[in-house]
Amino acid sequence: MGLSVKRIEGKREILGFLNRDRLYAAYAIGDLEPPLAHECEWYAALNEGEITALCLRFKGLPPDRIFVMGKAEGLRPILDEAVNADRAFFAFKQEHLNVVKRFYSLMRLEHMFRMVLAAEDFAPVEGPVSRLGPMHVHRLEELYRLGGDVAFAPYQVEQGVFYGLERDDKLVATAGTHLISRTHGLGIVGNVFTHPDYRGQGYGTVCCSAVVEELLSQSLDVVLNVERNNEPALRTYERLGFNVYCPFLEAPGWRRTVLRRRSLDAN
């Protein structure tokens, strides 16, 4: 019997597969939480009824986020038959690269680390930070605009943990969470950013430390993503106690059929 593809909605079935590599799948597990769950579409490749590959299409941030887990041969029919977003941002392992490239033209390939922090390894860095809330969204958006490609959405502040540091009456550094899953015990640190004019003074480290401390106080496993060649960020996270869990890849891409159609239309 060959592979079959189906959309699945049973949370227990999805979670059972994701828990095979819980820390790699942390973002996807967090997306099972309401209200994020309604932004998700889950597709599985099955061999004799058993899931061999799982693909999440998350529509809560533009462009769609696509997470891949499982065997590469299972991913191929999923991308061929079910997941056909014109434009998407992918997260996947090295073994999935050739399959993704078969269907999508990748604009750039980012080599990433998933890092984790155990409570006993945490080395806090104190500083004059403040807890941020929904009333600070405008100031956060203003700061993030200086950084270009930051995956920030206002709902992350309401649902998560954000800290900031002020200098000269303006917000100059911040750190927060991409998402929190208290049901499944995960806190995902992200949106760490410092104003270009205020870098090199440890402000981002202080903000990140405050976020991590609050997450650990809630008995959450703390994870984050960082580019492998981002030495300053790696030093910051290692100073706080983070360790590398696994490498993976991220890439934005366009569906090849869309690019071919646009090329034909242009001619």
Look at residue 160 and tell me whether its pLDDT is greater than 80.
yes
- Same domain, yes or no: 59 and 149: no
- Same domain, yes or no: 128 and 92: no
**CATH code at 62?**
3.40.630.30
Q: Is residue 182 part of a domain?
A: yes
* CB-based burial, 129-146: b 16+ in 10 Å, e otherwise: beebeeebbeebeebbee
User: What CA–CA distance (Å, rounded) separates 238 from 231?
Assistant: 10
Is the model more confident about 34 or about 111?
A: 111
Domain span at residue 179?
123-240
Element (H, E) at 197: none
- Same domain, yes or no: 49 and 136: no
pLDDT digits (tens, 9 = 90+) for 14-65: 999 999 999 999 999 999 998 889 999 999 999 999 999 999 999 988 899 9
Length of the chain: 267
User: What CA–CA distance (Å, rounded) separates 128 from 207?
Assistant: 9
Strands 221-227 and 186-194: parallel
* Segment 135-155 mean pLDDT: 88
Sequence-distant (6+) residues with CB within 8 A of 78 are 5, 43, 44, 45, 53, 55
- Same domain, yes or no: 128 and 85: no
User: What CA–CA distance (Å, rounded) separates 51 from 53?
Assistant: 6
- Same domain, yes or no: 109 and 138: no
Structure tokens at 65: 């986020």
Q: Is residue 36 part of a domain?
A: yes
Among residues 209, 130, 205, 207, which one has the least CA distance to residue 175?
A: 207
Q: Is residue 153 part of a domain?
A: yes
